[in-house]
Copies of this chain bind each other. A is one copy, B any other.
Amino acid sequence: MKNINRRDFMKNASIASAVAVSASTAEAKVVKDLFVHHVYFWLKNPNSEADKAKLLEGLNKLAKVPTIRMVHIGTPASTNRSVIERGYAFSWLCFFDNLEEEEIYQKHPIHLKFVEDYSHLWEKVIVYDAVGPKR
């Protein structure tokens, strides 16, 4: 699977900021108006590499839902302070244009099939849906 790489993504995000604002760079990187959908998955078998690989396979399929504007599939970083939650297996972070686009994602056949095929793998999910202030 081909992907946007960090350098290209950020290079062009920088272009966006140069285009969009004349303020200082420090003020140019706050992104507004987007709907952030962040899901953390805890596995039933947290030590199973096979189950991790399986869920990752599912998440890569899920990434094809057309209303997703950008997605980051992550695992816990090596940072380890008392306030940091590290027990989950996968972080699934998506940006949508707005609530309506996220609702389309929730009902999309690819999403329903993902839940059908992979939900037996997880013990728990926590979802945080956050919206930025309007400009």
Q: Which residues of A contact B (CB under 8 A)?
A: 1-6, 8-13, 15-17, 19-23, 26-36, 38, 40, 60, 63-64, 66, 68-79, 81, 83-85, 88, 91, 93, 97, 99, 102, 125-133, 135
**B13 pairs with A91, CB closer than 8 A:** no
Oligomeric state, in copies: 2
Residue of B nearest to A12 (CB): B16
- A44 and B32 CA atoms in complex are apart in Å by 26
- Selected from B15, B27, B76, the residue in CB contact (under 8 A) with A3 is B27
Given contacts A30-B71, A34-B6, A38-B38, contact A85 B128 (CB under 8 A): yes
- A31 and B3 CA atoms in complex are apart in Å by 6
